[in-house]
């Protein structure tokens, strides 16, 4: 009997976890709050990483690597940053274990191996990087520094969910140093655009570029730029952030440079990052009750081919055709998998590739072979048709482009449908519970009002859209003047 899976409308959280399991993306580990990313899940992450890495390098950035451990005194140097992350820090206090004298089968912490200074396991790397930059920067000739690192970080989350919020996760973090405020702001805005371009063109996920409110801003930043996406349950997901750090970290670590005119000034800084949270966004933007749905631009397998045969002679004939097609597709840069594993039946394979979100599935039996045909199924629409084998490589190439566009258009239409303009607080609360989604509303700009809304509704200001129109209005809560609408939503 086939296993019954949860539908999205029944229990979205359970559906999300089951989709991850069915597609073999990740699983919980033996370490509380940490995950094991399985090969197929990691293959998707590698696609994400490779494309972003290319985009970073095209904008002049270089990769480097900095230590996992941050001396506590360095971590404390920038007070706002330290305070913002303090509750999530894991701390190393000793450097050695020893055999328990009362039980030789167990190890205990060696009290004589206590560190002279405790080490914070990096929740983010600004402290260790700016301490390093101090020795790298003396004059304007040393600037700008445009560095990115691919790494893992640890934030001791109490409530975890695969990909969305784990105690350890993978990410990239850019850290740049500049001679002027204007140059640093330009860098911050550039990376916000790079993230948006990646999300929309590769993830097929529409995003809104905006600024965070003061209370949602990165700890230690003067300004935080964000891209916000809407998931299928109407909740928002912060998909990437870019921070203008001002001179805060330069002052904390005394990083100065000699300008062309001989004067000395503190360096201007930025940082920016995305993480394996993008995997969660990918799942919740496109997938359906049958499993994962992947945009072709990020699918590890773009085309899977399955033979249907009764004899080895039949298999040989069909294999020759599929190998011929595979050569043509690979020459076009299309990833192709021919699955002739005779340990699994075709029906099992169909379900497997559907659950894994493979964009295009091909099948051929002897009747198709003799007629010169091939069955082509597309995952996004769950449709299939029989086409002539000759020239099907050209058809598949165009079909992949069509699927990529269709997934974006479908997600964009969903977001438009679930975006609401509200003017009263009562209307906001009613619509938030009934419909969910993004709510464009006036806000008086105070943290007090923002906190009141958060406490009463669990909705937060996701961003102040960069492209918003200036519009005189009144705050939906206090009635005080407002110069434009911001986006409220419940969020992951």
What's the token pair of residue 160?
């975890």
State which of 381, 409, 437 marks the end of a domain: 409
Which range marks the domain in which residue 239 is found? 12-286
Please report where in the chains the tokens 């409530």 appear, as a residue: 159
Let me know if residue 3 belongs to a domain. no
Q: Is 437 left (phi over 0), alpha (psi -120 to 50) or beta?
A: left
pTM, full prediction: 0.96
CA–CA dist 122, 272 (Å, integer): 15
Contact 69, 90 (CB under 8 A): no
279 and 322 belong to one structural domain: no
Crossing angle between the packed helical segments 39-58 and 181-201, to the nearest 10 degrees: 140
Torsion angle of C-alpha atoms 441, 443, 449, 450, degrees rounded to 10: 70
233 and 353 belong to one structural domain: no
CA–CA dist 476, 473 (Å, integer): 9
CA–CA dist 222, 67 (Å, integer): 26
**CATH number of the domain where residue 361 is located:** 3.40.50.800
319 and 178 belong to one structural domain: no
Q: What is the pLDDT of residue 334?
A: 98
Q: What is the pLDDT of residue 472?
A: 94
State which of 286, 313, 345 marks the end of a domain: 286
> Which sign does the torsion angle of CA 146, 150, 155, 160 carry?
positive
Q: Is the peptide bond before 144 cis (omega within 30 degrees of 0)?
A: yes
Residue 224 CB partners (closer than 8 Å, separation 6+): 211, 212, 216, 217, 218, 241, 242, 243, 244
Alpha helices (H) along 364-435? 366-371, 392-417, 425-434
What's the token pair of residue 194?
């790079």
Task: Give the length of the chain.
Answer: 492
Let me know if residue 7 belongs to a domain. no
Query: What's the burial of 58, exposed, middle or buried (CB within 10 Å: 0-12/13-18/19+)?
Result: exposed
Let me know if residue 5 belongs to a domain. no
31 and 62 belong to one structural domain: yes
**CATH number of the domain where residue 239 is located:** 3.30.930.10
Q: What is the pLDDT of residue 434?
A: 94
The total domain count for the chain is: 3
Let me know if residue 399 belongs to a domain. yes
Let me know if residue 137 belongs to a domain. yes
275 and 309 belong to one structural domain: no
Let me know if residue 353 belongs to a domain. yes
Q: What is the pLDDT of residue 2?
A: 63
Q: What is the pLDDT of residue 158?
A: 84
* pLDDT < 50: residue spans in the chain: none
368 and 387 belong to one structural domain: yes
359 and 385 belong to one structural domain: yes
Let me know if residue 6 belongs to a domain. no
Let me know if residue 334 belongs to a domain. yes
374 and 441 belong to one structural domain: no
Q: Regarding beta strands 103-109 and 114-121, do their DSSP bridges make them parallel or antiparallel, or are they unpaired?
A: unpaired
């Amino acid at each position: 009997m086939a296993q019954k899976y949860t539908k999205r409308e029944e229990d979205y959280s359970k559906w999300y976890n089951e989709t991850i399991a069915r597609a073999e993306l990740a699983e919980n580990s033996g370490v509380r709050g940490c995950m094991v990313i399985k090969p197929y899940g990691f293959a998707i992450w590698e696609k994400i990483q490779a494309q972003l890495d290319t985009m970073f390098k095209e904008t002049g950035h270089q990769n480097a690597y900095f230590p996992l451990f941050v001396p506590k005194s360095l971590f404390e140097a920038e007070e706002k940053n330290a305070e913002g992350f303090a509750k999530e820090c894991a701390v190393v206090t000793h450097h050695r274990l020893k055999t328990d004298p009362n039980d030789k089968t167990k190890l205990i912490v060696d009290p004589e191996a206590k560190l002279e200074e405790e080490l914070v396991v990096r929740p983010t790397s600004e402290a260790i990087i700016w301490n390093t930059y101090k020795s790298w920067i003396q004059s304007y000739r040393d600037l700008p520094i445009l560095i990115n690192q691919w790494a893992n970080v640890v934030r001791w989350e109490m409530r975890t969910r695969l990909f969305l919020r784990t105690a350890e996760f993978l990410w990239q973090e850019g850290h740049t140093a500049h001679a002027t405020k204007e140059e640093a702001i330009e860098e911050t805005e550039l990376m916000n655009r790079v993230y948006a371009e990646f999300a929309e063109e590769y993830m097929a996920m529409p995003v809104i570029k905006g600024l965070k409110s003061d209370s949602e801003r990165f700890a230690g930043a003067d300004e935080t730029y964000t891209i916000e996406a809407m998931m299928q349950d109407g909740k928002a997901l912060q998909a990437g952030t870019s921070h203008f750090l001002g001179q805060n970290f330069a002052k904390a670590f005394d990083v100065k440079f000699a300008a062309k005119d001989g004067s000395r000034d503190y360096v201007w800084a930025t940082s920016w990052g995305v993480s394996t949270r993008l995997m969660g966004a990918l799942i919740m933007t496109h997938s359906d009750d049958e499993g994962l749905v992947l945009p072709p631009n990020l699918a590890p397998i773009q085309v899977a081919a399955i033979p249907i045969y009764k004899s080895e002679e039949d298999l040989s004939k069909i294999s020759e055709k599929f190998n011929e097609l595979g050569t043509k597709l690979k020459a076009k840069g299309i990833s192709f998998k021919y699955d002739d594993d005779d340990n699994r039946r075709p029906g099992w394979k169909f379900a497997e590739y559907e659950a894994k979100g493979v964009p295009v599935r091909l099948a051929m039996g002897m009747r198709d072979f003799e007629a010169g045909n091939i069955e082509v199924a597309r995952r996004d629409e769950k449709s299939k048709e029989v086409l002539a084998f000759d020239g099907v490589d050209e058809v598949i190439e165009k079909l992949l482009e069509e699927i990529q566009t269709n997934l974006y258009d479908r997600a964009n239409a969903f977001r438009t449908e679930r975006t609401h303009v509200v003017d009263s607080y009562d209307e906001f609360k009613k619509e938030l519970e009934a419909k969910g989604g993004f709510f464009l509303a006036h806000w008086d700009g105070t943290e007090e009002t923002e906190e009141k809304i958060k406490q009463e509704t669990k909705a937060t200001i996701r961003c102040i859209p960069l492209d918003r129109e200036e519009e005189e209005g009144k705050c939906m809560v206090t009635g005080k003047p407002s110069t434009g609408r911001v986006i409220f939503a419940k969020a992951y």
